[in-house]
Structure 1
Amino acid sequence: MSFQRNSVFPGLRPARVIVGAIALVLGCTNVTAAARAADYLEPPLFAERVAAGELPPVAARLPDMPSVAAIDGPGREPGQYGGTLRMLAPTARDIRLLAVYGYARLVAYNEQLELVPDLLEAVEVKEGRRFTFRLRANHRWSDGHPFTTEDFRYWWEDVAGNRTLSPAGPPRELAPDGKLPQFEVIDDRTVRFTWPAPNPYFLPALAGAAPLFIYRPAHYLKQFHVRYAAPEALARAVSEARTHNWAALHNRYDNLYKFDNPALPTLQPWRNTTASPATRFVAERNPYFHRVDEAGHQLPYIDRVIVTISEGNLIPPRTSAGEADLQARGLSFKDITFLKENEERSGYDTLLWPTARGAHRALFPNLNNGDPAFRKLFRDVRFRRALSLAIDRELINEALYFGVALQANNGVLPQSPLYDPEVASEWTTFDPARASALLDELGLDKRGGDGIRLLPDGRPLNLIVESAGEGSEESDLLELVGTTWAEVGIKLFIKPQQRANFRNRVFSGATQVSIWSGFENGIPTAEMSPDELAPTSQQQYQWPKWGQYYETRGASGEAPDLEAATHLLALNAAWRVATEQSERAKIWREMLSIHAEQQFAISLISGVLQPVVVRRGLMNVPTDAVYNWDPGAHFGIYRPDTFWFAGDDAAGKE
């Protein structure tokens, strides 16, 4: 079977922020309650509760100025109510995907990668440093309680500003230069954050797949906060929950992203009704969701979402048997042939969406490794270049990806305006002779009887590549890498393990090399943050301790001591204060060039297609789309609240 590469990245334009009194979201527009209230349509799921007086009618549940979705584009049309959307997930923690896919954000990306208001009615930005947010009048949480500026104040003062709950203080996105903003509550619908200098990280953080939640349902969480709860009641709650103290209790129930507390009110299109632990999570439509379609239907169209927990290796066969209506999680490129063979039998289509990571999989030599010999080796650019030159990416592409993937560095993809083909290909051509010469130059010219090179201390050059062990694809990749590394005298060992243990080993410096995906965003514009390219996060597996040092403002981790890494930090800081798009683009290109030259993360393959299984009858799922975490939130950017089931017998089954 052959596959044609889908090169469509819909409408990619430089990201910008739309501000002012009129906000657009995916072509959506806001209208006044007077103009539309009479036309709002009640979801049948709530009809009995409304008739019984248990729930207000739909016009009273919507904000005065709801967000109106203009559902247009190829294959998209206004829908009908009903049905249950079934999905599979490998772990119970994946219930958080409902907060990801629901993609209700203060500001959100549309399909053109513009940042636009969503939960907010309007955003005003002045000088890139003063952000004024206007909330929608009469917007409510899923339990019907008003969503007001008190929810922002509570988070700022009583959560982020409480050292017991937040020992490190507010998130670093709020202190780009170590300086926190001035926070103001203007009225019950308006808040303002003001920094002394521009903060370009703020709005993108609010729009992320795992967003910065700068608000909380204060009316619910105050019962667990020492400042507001009655001491006796709080002590009793701590005891009943078997937590150490009130802060642990508060943190347990304060999970807007984890989405595992059914009692916690939400602003997402569906609310989780199932407490953990469980193997089947049921989410029901949010009666107070803030979006409607042009015909007056309150969104979402679909009544319920069921997430069933399944062993990861069973997700492809269960999907092929028709047990999922919308599925990408747990599926990979190697499943495409099998999935397509079962389409007619199970009544679904397999869409192929290009992924948009800088690399589908990359190797990360740990520059913070605890072994002095290996740390010295990993910090020498000649060694990293040799590792890259000794990888036959054409073999990997043909053997595992039918030749339709990209053989390029961990960087940006051709669809990005920052793409440079020379940078993309630097040090990626399979050249074992040149790799061997670099290794000899490093003093690794002695070999053991098995042909494996020897370190200066006599140990064999055995490299252990550790993984999270979540599928066979990584093992298949590493087997091919190991074959060509052996040709230049390097022995590769594979060490799969549980993800939590894997990450802890990376963070502590115990790993030599790890395998993971590359840059999260492979289709950036110059206006998007280049944070990923500098040591700014512990989650960057090539330099976790340097990233931790940055994240904690020097409280933990290690200060970078490699010139290229410190230069990347300086460039990242320069981008933050740059005012011209051309200046930011120049900085981006220099940072990308440094990564290609230095091979801090050694790409194995890029641009791999992601299978997305869609049940026939599930409407408004785009055929041509991009499967990306951030920006994109996988399905979120395409607004699953507008997906719907067509036909009486096409409404999803439980």
Structure 2
Amino acid sequence: MDTTCAKTSRRGFLYGSAVAAGSVVLAACSGSSNAPQGSGNGGQSSGTPASKAKGSETEPIAPPSSFSESPLLAEQVKAGKLPAVEERLPEKPYVVPHKWIEKGKYGGSIRLMIPSTSDGDVRQMKQYMYGHSLLRFVNDSLDIVPGLVESWESNEEQSEWTLHFRKGLKWSDGKPWTTADIMFWWNDMVLNEEHTEIPPDECKAANGKPATLKATDEVTLVMTFETPAPLTPDRLAGYTKRGNGSTWMEPKHYLQQFHPTYNKSASKEWASLGGAFETKRNHARNPDCPTMTGWRVTSYRDSQQVVWERNPFYWVVDREGQQLPYVDKLTYTVVGEPQVGKLQAQQGKLDYVHGPFAGFGLADISGLRQTEKQSNLVLRMWDTGSGTGSMFFFNQDAKDPKLRELIREPKFRQALSHAFNRPDVKKSIYYTLGDPTTGTMGVKTIEYVVSDEGRSVYESWRDSYVKYDPELAKSMLDELGVVDKNGDGKREFADGSPLTIWMDYQSNAAPDHIAKNDQLKRDWEAIGLTVKLNPIPADGWDPRWQSGQLVSHCSWEVSSARDHLTQAAWLVPVEPARWAPLQGQWYNVRGTPAEKEQADVDPYKRTPPRAAPEPGGPVEQLWKLYDQAKVEVDATKRHRFVWDMIKIHIEHGPFFMGSVANPPALILAHRDLKNVPDKENLAQGGLVGPWQHPSPAVYDPEAYFWTNPEQHA
């Protein structure tokens, strides 16, 4: 079967994700029309008219016959410091396929901000660069196109995938990129028990066993799985590899000097977080570490500033053959407080602000527009694609048995959903934007847009318990015996004992979560429940949640990308971070020796805490459907498995409770910065929410350019 081109952490098995790798591509769903849509300015309040072209090409664009480069690089070529541009590019460079892109000018610098240089915020910088991607998402994840991989195919069972990489790729230091750089990561990190890296989901079969990776030559890699792995292309396109996703490659020629297998004098602590190997391999901190991204770090000052300059060996060009990026330099300044960042934006000290990273929200729109003449920042609003907005969900595995029994009663959760005044949230928190929702997976997933039936399933889930009806909520609680037993005006358990709804949330939660929590407390107290807000330090959250000590989570949201199955944890418990943590952990040990270990130990005292689902219950039903779906090679059949899983959520849910779906994210760009897409340019209006769909990397910021680069040097 040929799916070529464009038709389409930490070691510890018990704590590894069991989500299977990858998917087959459905190009038919892409938004690829050139027809003008809307105003063409994506909500901009001023600025020159933008291109009205919509979407991205799904077939690879043939590279032009000749290439050109930045004048700065041309000078280095003339001085003999760099090879000619034709020698620096691969035989067939990737041509950016976005229809809104116009030919740009070289030069200038873009000023950006990050909250800190912590690991999490450094990953934000990597969200701007798709350079390590094997495959790429386009059209807001509806389509998959080549990346470093030029073409790919599978056998009929889709248990073996062959990846053909571009010939002539080079690292930023000019050294050849080959499949040896993948095998170095795989053999000397993932399979090396001394290192903490584990096989990522795209390298695991449906039974949890790692795939076999074999490099048959310098540009060909074969992945062999024990089971069908139809979701492999989807997995390979997701996240920024060597960024916020799995590593997938490291520059062997540079890093082997710090690895004891290749250098006997290397530090014995090579694999620790402070060891030389781990310190040196972070290309966002170490200027010496080669990269495949459009820019490379040239200056790193901890907690102050990070400067990225053009990679002269970047493997991407525009349609005219101009090597990208257009802009010479990115300068990220550390801004510790969100209010300071907002002030800098309003004062014109920033050129581009990706709102979700900077802490900018809808409440900031008025102030940003009032200062637009001073800041020169034009406001865009791209869709987030979130299926929930700020959300709430109970811990189905809460340790208290009486509370756990009540939480697992669907009518109890349905009553609380009907008591939630979502129209008020839409008005007060989301400024009338977005759609009230019971809570679903991300609204742009392919299962919802592939057919009318898919859309109908989505709407049924969205609307299932969304109606604001406090009287209905009261009657449902009455039916459960959750009534005021002692006349104090508050509802108790059916046995008369006190009932308190603890609203646990991370203490560093964003303002929209805090505001939503206050409203939930108000709404649920209005139907007679006792509700307590309980902020928890983020550092201690995970072990308490995974062991059932916390009752609820109300500072998160669901933002899935291409489909339901490549990131399935919200749909079905397969890991310990979401709504059924102990059952999710049990899924991870199924079929392993650990499944039979500690059988006589209290589930909450097992290592790790884990518990089997109720026989025949909703979680077991979800598992059975998921196990079938992730090995199903027929995409239409996979969609039907997903729809059946959604029906379980409707019947037995809500397992997670949304507020407003698809609220927008703020994107600010200097009025002179071009090729920044408007909402109308994007196939589905944008998909900013999920890390799996790395934004803005998927829109190729390397193609942004200044109309007047000399004024932005």
TM-score by structure 1 length? 0.87
Return the letter of the residue paired with 2:320.
Answer: A
Q: Which residue of 1 aligns with 2:222?
A: 192
* Pairing of 1:200-349 with structure 2 (within 5 A): 200-209=230-239, 210-231=244-265, 233-235=266-268, 238=269, 248-255=275-282, 259-275=284-300, 277-310=302-335, 311-327=337-353, 328=355, 329=357, 330-349=359-378
Give the C-alpha shift of residue 497 in structure 1. 4.7
Between 136-145 and 275-284, the greater mean CA deviation after superposition: 275-284
Residues 409 and 596 in structure 1, CA contact (< 8 A), matched pair in contact too:
no
- SS of 2:392's equivalent in the other structure is strand
Give the C-alpha shift of residue 431 in structure 1. 1.7
Matched, 1:42 2:69: yes
Residues 206 and 213 in structure 1, CA contact (< 8 A), matched pair in contact too:
no
Give the C-alpha shift of residue 620 in structure 1. 0.8
Matched, 1:106 2:106: no
Q: Which residue of 2 aligns with 1:95?
A: 122
Return the letter of the residue paired with 1:50.
Answer: V
Give the C-alpha shift of residue 290 in structure 1. 0.4
Change (3 A) 1:379 1:222: same
Residues 136 and 189 in structure 1, CA contact (< 8 A), matched pair in contact too:
yes
Give the C-alpha shift of residue 100 in structure 1. 1.9
- SS of 2:436's equivalent in the other structure is coil
Residues 307 and 332 in structure 2, CA contact (< 8 A), matched pair in contact too:
yes
Residues 173 and 205 in structure 1, CA contact (< 8 A), matched pair in contact too:
no
* Pairing of 1:553-592 with structure 2 (within 5 A): 555=594, 556-562=608-614, 563-592=617-646
Residues 314 and 323 in structure 2, CA contact (< 8 A), matched pair in contact too:
yes
Give the C-alpha shift of residue 596 in structure 1. 3.1
Q: Which residue of 1 aligns with 2:500?
A: 461
Partners of 1:508 and 1:132 in 2: how far apart? 41
Deviation readout 1:88-134 (Å, 9 max, x if unpaired): 22232322223222112110111262111111222222322221111
Change (3 A) 1:393 1:165: same
- SS of 2:326's equivalent in the other structure is coil
| Aligned positions, number | 618
- Residue of structure 2 aligned with 1:616, choices 666, 671, 676: 671
Return the letter of the residue paired with 2:633.
Answer: T
Change (3 A) 1:600 1:374: same
* Pairing of 1:506-521 with structure 2 (within 5 A): 506-521=545-560
Give the C-alpha shift of residue 299 in structure 1. 0.6
Change (3 A) 1:486 1:29: same
Partners of 1:211 and 1:458 in 2: how far apart? 47
Deviation readout 1:145-173 (Å, 9 max, x if unpaired): 21101112212211111112147556574
Matched, 1:471 2:510: yes
Return the letter of the residue paired with 1:561.
Answer: P
Give the C-alpha shift of residue 576 in structure 1. 1.4
Change (3 A) 1:313 1:150: same
Residues 622 and 645 in structure 2, CA contact (< 8 A), matched pair in contact too:
yes
Change (3 A) 1:319 1:530: same
Give the C-alpha shift of residue 485 in structure 1. 0.5
Matched, 1:493 2:527: no
Give the C-alpha shift of residue 496 in structure 1. 3.5
Give the C-alpha shift of residue 638 in structure 1. 1.1
- SS of 1:29's equivalent in the other structure is coil
Matched, 1:636 2:675: no
Give the C-alpha shift of residue 298 in structure 1. 0.9
Residues 69 and 291 in structure 1, CA contact (< 8 A), matched pair in contact too:
yes
Q: Which residue of 1 aligns with 2:601?
A: none
- SS of 1:401's equivalent in the other structure is coil
Q: Which residue of 2 aligns with 1:533?
A: 571
Residues 57 and 99 in structure 2, CA contact (< 8 A), matched pair in contact too:
no
Matched, 1:545 2:597: no
Give the C-alpha shift of residue 284 in structure 1. 1.3
Deviation readout 1:336-360 (Å, 9 max, x if unpaired): 2222222223212111112101111
Change (3 A) 1:650 1:496: farther
Percent of matched pairs sharing the same residue? 26
Residues 195 and 271 in structure 2, CA contact (< 8 A), matched pair in contact too:
no
- SS of 1:603's equivalent in the other structure is coil
Residues 234 and 246 in structure 1, CA contact (< 8 A), matched pair in contact too:
no
Residues 617 and 650 in structure 1, CA contact (< 8 A), matched pair in contact too:
no
Give the C-alpha shift of residue 561 in structure 1. 1.3
Change (3 A) 1:70 1:462: closer
Q: Which residue of 2 aligns with 1:396?
A: 425
Q: Which residue of 2 aligns with 1:601?
A: 656
Matched, 1:123 2:177: no
Change (3 A) 1:596 1:428: same
Q: Which residue of 2 aligns with 1:7?
A: none
Give the C-alpha shift of residue 433 in structure 1. 2.0
Partners of 1:450 and 1:317 in 2: how far apart? 49
Deviation readout 1:376-432 (Å, 9 max, x if unpaired): 322222221122111011111122223222111221566532333222111111122
Partners of 1:317 and 1:244 in 2: how far apart? 41
Residues 618 and 645 in structure 1, CA contact (< 8 A), matched pair in contact too:
yes
RMSD over equivalenced CA pairs, Å = 2.9
Return the letter of the residue paired with 1:271.
Answer: R
Q: Which residue of 1 aligns with 2:466?
A: 428
Residues 295 and 309 in structure 2, CA contact (< 8 A), matched pair in contact too:
yes
Return the letter of the residue paired with 2:377.
Answer: Y
Partners of 1:207 and 1:399 in 2: how far apart? 37
Partners of 1:81 and 1:533 in 2: how far apart? 45
Q: Which residue of 2 aligns with 1:55?
A: 82
Residues 502 and 534 in structure 2, CA contact (< 8 A), matched pair in contact too:
no
Give the C-alpha shift of residue 460 in structure 1. 4.2
Runs (5+) with no aligned partner, structure 2? 1-6, 9-22, 28-55, 595-607, 680-684
Q: Which residue of 2 aligns with 1:21?
A: none
Residues 230 and 633 in structure 2, CA contact (< 8 A), matched pair in contact too:
no
Q: Which residue of 2 aligns with 1:6?
A: none
Partners of 2:81 and 2:218 in 1: how far apart? 27
TM-score by structure 2 length? 0.80
